[in-house]
Structure 1
Amino acid sequence: MTEKRDGRWVAVALLWWVCFFNYADRQAIFSVFPLLSRDLHLGPYQLGFVGSAFMWMYAVTGPIAGRLCDRFSRKWIIVIALTLWSLVTGATAFVHTLTPLIVLRTLSGLGEAFYFPAALSLLADYHGPDTRSRALAFHQSGVYVGTVAGGGLAAWIAERSGWHQSFAFFGAGGLVLAVILALYLRQPHMRNTVKRMPETLNLEKQLFRLAQNQRAQLLVCIFIGANFVASCFLTWLPTFLYQRWHLNVASAGLQSTIYVQVASILGVLLGGVLADRMSRKRRGGRMRTQAIGLFVGAPFLLLFGGASALSLVIFALIGFGLAKGIYDSNIWASLYDTVSEEERGFAAGLMNSLGWIGGGLAPLYVAGLSKRLGMAHALGNTGWLYLLLGLLMALLASRFARFNQ
């Protein structure tokens, strides 16, 4: 127990940086879409498929990743995964045609899919119910900082040195971090590891138990919808600002991420603290916190779709980012409230997988709907989906609290 307590925040800090590169590497390509379109002669649907290829491979690999992290050392799964996707990111610097770009994006999805199930399961072992939401929320903030770096820094490098250099920079940084993790990351020694092993080997039993868990199923459905909305903005917002408001590539890459992600950092930290307090008073507090985030985010998304001035667009993005952070802060903590300890890795991997199937449809959805309604309305109409998801989450929180009284 002493070892766990002494190292639990060190583990959060180290994994925060891995989370940073996980999202910086995936966001970097979206910020240079205008340059890829020009240099490789790619249309909207081709660019959309580049984004979807990553997400669909990420989705397919998720359950396998979750299962493996329940069986093997999560530390080494993280180190190997980071090394793989960093090598792939660096190799993207040498791409000159569409086909190898799609292949490398697919391989990047393969590598990155192994990170979150292993990292979240490891952090859940380090942190009990008293600190779990805060720990996972702080770790989640790495998503937002990494997205800003991937969007802003990659575009800035691309304008000055070419988009190829952006991928070389992030790939090299990830490889350095992999060495640091191999030396300093520790995995807590769980006394029940041997006892857990037979259940982790029984895939049919795990699937059956999750199939009977209606609360976990509804959390997954809500996550699919929320991830769809997030993927719409991650993929196309840089291009929207570049085309609609005539910003240069560097400015569009930065502004497409910084407002949403900085606000999300505040939201995720607020949501983590709020959820820990609410969950001590009543069961379902984490889910109630998520419902608040979805309800708050819906009107800001609708405002974005009808905004006639850049200042209103920015205001809407800040509001959406704050609300998104509140929801995101408890994605995994809420799931862990509904599944047993031995199912954490598999459940997180499956949830992540299904969520990115929905996310993989988002780039193509925006590419198609933009031709009829314009990109602003294609993005802004996702507010109606956020409202529906908020209603479902509030219902789930209420049922969860009554069931566990």
Structure 2
Amino acid sequence: MNQAAVGRRGARYKWEVLALLWVAYLLNQADRQVFNVVLPLIREDLGLSDVAIGSIATIFNLFYAVLVPIGGLVGDRFSRKWIVTGSILFWSVATMFTGLCNGFLMLVMMRSIATGGGEAFFGPANYSLLAQYHERTRAFAMSIHQTAYYIGIIISGYAAGYIGQLWGWRSAFYVFGSIGVIHGIVMIFRLKDKRDPAAEATPEAAVGATPEMAAAAPDSATRAAAPRARLTDGFRLVFTTPTALILTVCFAGLIFVLTGYLTWMPTYLFERFDMDLSGAGFHSMFYTHLFAFFGVLLAGRLSDRLGRLHPAWRMAMQGFGLLAAVPFILLMGNSATLWVIYVGFAGFGFARAFFDANTYTVLYDVIPPRYHSSASSLMMMIGFGIGALAPVVLGAVKQAVGLSFGISMLAVVWLICGAGMVLGAKLFYLKDYNKIDHEQ
């Protein structure tokens, strides 16, 4: 096969990789949201309090946060194909076993520890593998990949509620977990690490290859020759790179708000507006993630264009997105009219997409490629560690003064983070960006 044919085959395969990881990420988010959608049924069936229910989600995120740095270290050292594939199989089986739980302790064991532990290894390797196959198309590929998050939550929001009403909350976990197992088996045969000549010969990989790119490639010979990435090195880089540090802190603010919203919004509509479970699950997620779907595609394209003119625009876009979402969060928490709340959902989703589209692109712009997994794992550890507090905090606020106030207070978090991102883009981004070789 000539070089041109090899290059075309490699160029096509990078989009297959995106498709495989897209479905995996969709199932990842759908499996997470199942619990939030059927939460009222679990609470009633097992006799749990709002704080206990919030604690299960909090422990899930804390356990995820503790293990994700190990996932990042493993992702920098070993086959990302097998880490991603093993993760989806593990958490899907744990999701199925969640349906067998009969009390708080079992839910913590299966939902928080087993499922959270399986997902912790998925994120760093997933994003790093996608970034390796997509260099010049990275922001656009990351944006498409992010749409899986939105669609997965929309599907889960309706389907889990419908299944829960029809056959009980346990069946929802059985169905979603089994689908994940099937996709994991597909990935065993179709997903590859970027180590074969066909992948390495793609035009975008061949032009301007740098030592950092070579070190990042999971080719066995390259990995054997390069010094092993150390977890502490990736952590040190994040804490000593102002752009990465600001991004990490604001990512934590993003996750805090999103985790609180995802955990309690279906219950908010279910209780306040007397919706049935499938309706509450669907409406609480549909408008937000439909508009986020279109927003992230727009933001990804815009990021690639503006980033070529002035890279700092990517981080600025994130800040402006958070600031624009603030009034819509206030609408969500304070309106007594459903259609106004739906407008709040839509604006909230569209605006937050401008942060989502740029998160890993911004991080990878200021961190050397061989430390991408460990740096992203630290960002996820801090983000989900802080975000883990949201479900139990909102559960306590709900019992004390009502969920409406709890949702409204989330706007303050994004106001602070949005301002921090805009300032970071102006003061630090170009300095940090110019330290990395971007000849790709």
Same fold (TM over 0.5): yes
1:161 aligns with 2:133: no
Which residue is equivalent to 1:124? 131
In the alignment, residue 13 of structure 1 is paired with which amino acid? A
Gaps of 5+ in 2: 1-5, 201-213, 435-440
2:236 is aligned with 1:205: no
- The 3 A distance-change label for structure 1 pair 111 and 313 is same
Q: Secondary structure at the match of 2:406?
A: helix
- Tell me, yes or no, if the aligned pair for 1:200 and 1:343 is still in contact at 8 Å: no
Match of 1:182 among 175, 180, 188: 188
Quote the residue 1:108 is aligned against. Answer: 115
Q: Conserved in 1, the CA contact under 8 Å of 2:61 and 2:384? A: yes
Q: How far is 1:209 from its partner?
A: 2.8
The one-letter amino acid paired with 2:122 is Y
1:27-176 superposed matches below 5 A: 27-105=33-111, 106-128=113-135, 130-176=136-182
Say yes or no: does 1:270 pair with 2:277. no
Aligned 8 A contact 2:14 2:133 in 1: yes
The alpha-carbon deviation at position 293 of structure 1 amounts to: 1.0
Indicate the residue corresponding to 2:256 in structure 1. Answer: 228
Whichever of the two has the greater Rg, that structure is 2
Instruction: Give the TM-score, by structure 1 length.
Output: 0.96
Q: Distance in 2 between matches of 1:251 and 1:329?
A: 29
Bigger shift: residues 379-388 or 225-234: 379-388
**Cα deviation code 1:17-68 (max 9, x no counterpart):** 0001000101001101110111000110110011112111110011000010
Which segment drifts farther, 67-76 or 209-218? 209-218
* 1-structure distance, mates of 2:107, 2:181: 20
How much has 1:229 moved relative to structure 2? 0.3
Q: Is the 8 A contact 2:332 2:341 kept in 1?
A: yes
Partners of 1:115 and 1:235 lie apart in 2 by 21
2:423 paired residue among 388, 395, 399: 395
What is the RMSD of the two structures over their aligned residues, measured on CA atoms? 1.6
Distance in 1 between residues matched to 2:288 and 2:37, nearest whole Å: 14
Supply the distance in 2 between the matched residues of 1:360 and 1:108 (Cα, whole angstroms).
15
Q: Per-residue deviation at 1:127?
A: 0.9
CA contact (8 A) 2:303 2:358 kept: yes
Relative to 1, partners in 2 of residues 1:98 and 1:203: Cα closer, same or farther, differing over 3 Å?
A: closer
Residue in structure 1 matched with residue 309 of structure 2 by the alignment: 281
1:83-121, CA deviations, whole angstroms, 9 ceiling, x for partnerless residues?
000100111121122211110012100001111111110
Q: Deviations over 1:306-341 (max 9, x none)?
A: 212111111101110111112111111111111000
- Which residue among 388, 397, 412 is the counterpart of 1:360? 388
| Structure 1 counterpart SS, 2:311 | coil
In 2, Cα distance between equivalents of 1:121 and 1:63: 14
For 1:199 and 1:247, the matched residues in 2 are separated by: 57
Q: CA deviation at 1:274?
A: 1.0
Partner of 1:337: 365
* Larger displacement relative to structure 2 (289-298 or 136-145): 289-298
Choose which of 281, 291, 296 in structure 1 pairs with 2:319: 291
Query: Does 2:14 correspond to 1:8?
Result: yes
List per-residue Cα deviations over 1:278-324 (Å, max 9, x = no partner).
10111212112211211110111112222121111111011101111
Instruction: Tell me if the contact between 1:51 and 1:235 (Cα under 8 Å) persists in the aligned partners.
Output: yes
Secondary structure of the residue aligned to 1:200 is coil
1:17 is matched with 23
Structure 2: how far apart are the matches of 1:376 and 1:346? 38
CA contact (8 A) 1:278 1:286 kept: yes
2:379 to 334, 341, 351: 351
Alpha-carbon distance between aligned partners in 2 of 1:265 and 1:389, rounded to the nearest angstrom: 22
Conserved? CA contact 2:100–2:170, under 8 Å = yes
| One-letter amino acid matched to 1:173 | I
Q: Give the match for residue 285 of structure 2.
A: 257
Shift of 1:402: 4.8
The 1-side partners of 2:260 and 2:56 are apart by 14
8 Å contact 1:65–1:349 — kept in the other structure? yes
> Partner amino acid for 1:269?
L
Partners of 1:87 and 1:205 in 2: CA distance: 34
Partner SS state of residue 366, structure 2: coil
Aligned residues of 2:25 and 2:149 also touching (Cα < 8 A): yes
The one-letter amino acid of 1:69's match is: G
Percent identical pairs in the alignment equals 32
Q: Which moved more, 1:383-392 or 1:82-91?
A: 383-392
How far apart, in 2, do the equivalents of 1:204 and 1:257 lie? 38
Give 1:328's aligned residue: 356
The superposition leaves residues 346-391 of structure 1 with CA deviations (integer Å, 9 ceiling, x where unpaired) of 0111111111011110001101122333201211221121111111
Letter of the 2:120 counterpart: A
Distance apart, 1:401 and its partner CA: 4.8
User: Is the Cα contact below 8 Å between 1:305 and 1:380 reproduced in 2?
Assistant: yes
Equivalent residues in 2 for 1:295-310, closer than 5 Å: 295-310=323-338
Moved more, 226-235 or 391-400: 391-400
The worse-fitting range, judged by mean Cα deviation, of 3-12 and 250-259 is 3-12
- Alpha-carbon distance between aligned partners in 1 of 2:230 and 2:169, rounded to the nearest angstrom: 46
The AA in structure 2 aligned to 1:118 is A
Specify every segment of 5 or more residues in structure 1 that has no aligned partner in the other structure, as ranges.
none
